[in-house]
Amino acid sequence: MKKYYTIGLVLVLMCAVALIAYGMYLNRAGESKIAERMENRAIPLQGDKAKFRNINPTFFLDTINFYSDEMADAVALIDGRVTEIFVDKNSKVSEGQLLFRLKNDDVPLKIQEAESNILRAEAQLANARTSFARYTRLMEKDATSKEKYDESQMQFLAAEAALKQAVAVRDQYVVQEGRQDIYAPIDGEVLILYKQMGAYVSTGTPVALIGNFNRLYFSMPLEDEVAQHLLTNKNFELHFRNANALRKAYDTEFAAGNKGGEQVFNANVLEITPSLSEPAAMRKVVWEVDNSVGLLEPQTYNGVTMRIATPRRALTVPLAAVAGQNRSAVFVVTAANTLERRAVNVGVDDGSYIEITAGLKEGETVVTSATEGLTSGVKVEVTLTGGGN
């Protein structure tokens, strides 16, 4: 009986040991398979190839400040009261066009007084001329003294001078009379009428503001590397991302054919300071903008996109591929389908693609999907997008 009990106990123990050994085997095999799977696991990502593309470099500006070099006040050149206004607000005017007429009650009286002084001076001159002629004849006959001759000559010359002075005074008042008319200082549009009918104005008082906004200007500082690109790309296109930004400060008129918020404005580089031939880290660039459609005015606008009109050939990657706060790195897919974080130098972009100036070669694949948390060495399975083959 004990014999069978011992045999059964041994068999049970053998089975227990076998089960434990088998369990350990399964555990090790499972860990090995998991490790193998983890080692061979590839993260699915999207990517594109570095390629030479035609891009139109684009700048996204939060604000832009337009100004005009053709704005001028029509100014009163004499005291007076407004008696006539020949234009309305938003009227188109030409340089020298009559805008206002003033009335100065003192000027006609002063002209009349000056005319009387001229008549008096002419009479005195006539008498002095007659006297001088008479003493000249007497002097030729030695019938008078040299002193009386000289005295008559001096009286004649003084009378001539008095007449010239009287005429000059009269002419001065005539000029003042002409200043009662106020003319447009430049071609343009009447932006503001400062004075209304019957208002009294003093010399030097502005009565109207005239402006010509067909051409507007703006400037901004640029780093030398960006400014150098403008040497061959001087033509730009501007459009406003927010159509509501096209508000009016002076309530000027719109030109026919404008497209409102869809309007694209042509701009060209007018001046770069210092010149590109001189060494400098920063440069001031001035643009001239064609505003013949009349949508813009000299003021600050928000949300402007400025795009170089002429395409530029450059080695590029999608903008989503660059990582880092300074756009200084990309994740490159190696031949072993692993990631390599690569430092790059970038140039301009067009909102979709960005220029790579150093760090990448044409044909290399970069990751374009989310790059947060990626590290070098990770295995990936990349699907090419954007036509990259």
- Estimate the crossing angle of helix 146-178 against helix 106-140, to 10 degrees: 160
**Cβ–Cβ under 8 Å, residues 190 and 210:** yes
Q: Per the confidence metrics, is the pTM higher than 0.85?
A: no
**Cβ–Cβ under 8 Å, residues 298 and 66:** yes
Q: 3-state class of 359 per DSSP? A: coil
Residues 370, 380: Cα–Cα separation, whole Å = 13
Query: Whats the size of the chain, residue-wise?
Result: 389
Q: In Å, how far from its chain's centre is CA 173? A: 47
Q: 3-state class of 200 per DSSP? A: strand
Looking at residue 376, what is its pLDDT?
86
**Cβ–Cβ under 8 Å, residues 119 and 126:** no
Tokens at 48, concatenated? 């594109």
What b-and-e string marks burial along 203-225, b requiring 16 or more CB atoms within 10 Å of the CB? eebebbbbbbbbebbbeeebeee
Q: 3-state class of 26 per DSSP? A: helix
**Cβ–Cβ under 8 Å, residues 349 and 14:** no
Q: 3-state class of 160 per DSSP? A: helix
Beta-bridge partner residues of 181 = 101
Residue 198 CB contacts under 8 Å (≥ 6 apart), including other chains? 81, 82
**Residue 158 vs residues 79, 89, 126, 200, 371: alpha-carbon distances, Å:** 34, 54, 12, 41, 99
Residues 242, 300: Cα–Cα separation, whole Å = 13
Ramachandran angles phi, psi of 193, nearest 5°: -105, 105
Q: 3-state class of 192 per DSSP? A: strand
**Cβ–Cβ under 8 Å, residues 281 and 224:** yes
Residues 41, 24: Cα–Cα separation, whole Å = 25
**Both ends of the chain: CA-CA distance in Å?**
81
Closest CA to 150 of 138, 134, 130, 135: 135
Q: CB count, 10 Å around CB of 60?
A: 12
Looking at residue 10, what is its pLDDT?
62
Looking at residue 171, what is its pLDDT?
92
Looking at residue 33, what is its pLDDT?
45
Tokens at 1, concatenated? 């009986």
Residues 193, 251: Cα–Cα separation, whole Å = 12
Looking at residue 38, what is its pLDDT?
40
**Residue 9 vs residues 1, 2, 21: alpha-carbon distances, Å:** 12, 10, 18
Residue ranges of the chain with pLDDT lower than 50?
33-38, 389
Amino acid at 301: Y
Residues 353, 321: Cα–Cα separation, whole Å = 9
